[in-house]
């Protein structure tokens, strides 16, 4: 049997950390059919690093939503693992994913979250994210998402939004299927938490979600999050779709 998983990675300026993630994925050739790295306009060597590691490299501007959507459209396996380029997979990840796949296509899965850094406040953030993921089935994109392609398609796919693409998609997804929590934690780069401070980052993220719930255009939210270099793109149709959602984070 061919490996069942297509891995789609949204990356931008991740040349330093991406090799570690690609090395993690290379340890499970029986599970991973292909790795697609979708570059969002990097100013560093991200595309070259990905190509040297054997990944298929695509280029797509407009933010992570468009990147993930482009990668999924190009992929071929019956299962999808959607990741951000600044994460690392935990030891033992492959058998855990294989077991989740073996449980059937009716459940999607996200990892627990581990933020790189020693600040005790980060452990509180991780606990809050775990409770949110388990009780409300609203994992963040930083936690990765494993799901069957059929389930992805039935939910309407990832919208090409420059921000909030993860929450918008899981809101639609959880109407069709349970989103379970995997036993292992995905480690995400803690640079934003370090730059802004833990509680300042928590507050900023909460303000962004609140503004989104109240209809602030996603382009404006992306500029607040990324700064003046916020990714732009053709996301208006997807934005209109998510603005009618009745289930908000």
Give the count of domains, the chain: 1
Q: How many CA atoms lie within 13 A of 228 on its CB side?
A: 0
Q: What is the pTM of this model?
A: 0.86
Residue 222, in any domain of the structure: yes
What pLDDT digit, counting tens, does each position of 193-208 carry? 777 788 888 887 777 7
Range of the domain at 111: 5-243
Residue 166, in any domain of the structure: yes
CATH number for the domain including 115? 3.90.550.10
pLDDT, average across residues 73-82: 98
144, pLDDT greater than 90: yes
pLDDT for 191 equals 82
pLDDT, average across residues 114-127: 91
Residue 174, in any domain of the structure: yes
Residue 248, in any domain of the structure: no
214, pLDDT greater than 80: no
In terms of pLDDT, which residue wins out, 232 or 97?
A: 97
136, pLDDT greater than 90: no
Residue 99, in any domain of the structure: yes
Residue 249, in any domain of the structure: no
């Amino acid at each position: 049997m061919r490996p069942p998983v297509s891995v789609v990675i949204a990356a931008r300026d991740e040349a330093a950390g991406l090799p570690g993630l690609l090395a993690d994925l290379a340890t499970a050739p029986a599970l991973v059919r292909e790795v697609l790295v979708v570059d969002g306009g990097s100013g560093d060597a991200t595309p070259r690093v990905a190509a040297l590691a054997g990944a298929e490299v695509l280029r797509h501007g407009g933010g992570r939503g468009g990147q993930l959507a482009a990668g999924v459209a190009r992929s071929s396996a019956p299962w999808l693992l959607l990741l951000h380029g600044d994460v690392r997979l935990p030891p033992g990840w492959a058998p855990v994913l294989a077991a989740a796949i073996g449980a059937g296509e009716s459940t999607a899965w996200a990892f627990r979250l581990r933020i790189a850094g020693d600040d005790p406040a980060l452990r509180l953030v991780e606990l809050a994210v775990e409770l949110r993921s388990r009780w409300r089935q609203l994992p963040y994109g930083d936690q990765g998402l494993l799901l069957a392609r059929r389930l992805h398609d039935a939910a309407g796919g990832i919208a090409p939004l420059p921000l909030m693409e993860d929450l918008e998609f899981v809101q639609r997804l959880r109407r069709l299927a349970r989103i379970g929590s995997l036993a292992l934690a995905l480690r995400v780069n803690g640079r934003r938490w370090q730059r802004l401070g833990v509680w300042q980052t928590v507050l900023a993220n909460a303000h962004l979600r609140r503004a989104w719930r109240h209809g602030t255009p996603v382009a404006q939210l992306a500029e607040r999050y990324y700064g003046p270099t916020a990714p732009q793109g053709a996301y208006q149709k997807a934005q209109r779709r998510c603005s009618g959602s009745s289930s908000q984070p």
